[in-house]
């Protein structure tokens, strides 16, 4: 993968992670957290879609690899929601 392709992949993962955080209402962390959530969401969302027999929706090709946008957002939102439930409410 080229450095430009990797940069595009990181940007897309960051946007997907940010959207997932906005959907769930969880906003702790910065850009790196959003990128990590985007990648974890892609793994979780793709696994769930394969288990349910669903097709990839809005997948982009970056450097010969497919990145599922919709499943990444859904997977990251589920992952953040579970983390938020396990973490509980913090007193400030």
Helix (H, G, I), strand (E, B) or coil at 63: coil
Single pTM value for the model: 0.79
87 pLDDT exceeds 80? no
- Going from N- to C-terminal start, the domains of the chain cover 3-86
The distance of Cα 65 from the centroid of its chain, to the nearest Å, equals 16
Q: What is the pLDDT of residue 60?
A: 86
Tell me the β-bridge partners of 17: none
- For 11-68, write each residue's pLDDT tens digit: 888 888 888 888 888 777 788 888 888 888 888 888 888 899 888 888 888 878 788 8
Residues in CB range of 31: below 8 A, 6 or more apart: 14
Q: What is the pLDDT of residue 18?
A: 87
């Amino acid at each position: 993968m080229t450095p430009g392709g990797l940069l595009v992949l990181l940007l897309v993962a960051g946007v997907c992670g940010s959207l997932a955080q906005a959907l769930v209402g969880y906003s702790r962390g910065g850009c790196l957290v959003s990128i990590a959530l985007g990648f974890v969401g892609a793994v979780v969302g793709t696994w769930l879609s394969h288990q349910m027999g669903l097709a990839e929706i809005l997948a982009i090709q970056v450097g010969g690899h497919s990145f599922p946008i919709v499943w990444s957002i859904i997977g990251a939102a589920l992952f953040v929601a579970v983390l938020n439930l396990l973490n509980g409410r913090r007193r400030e």
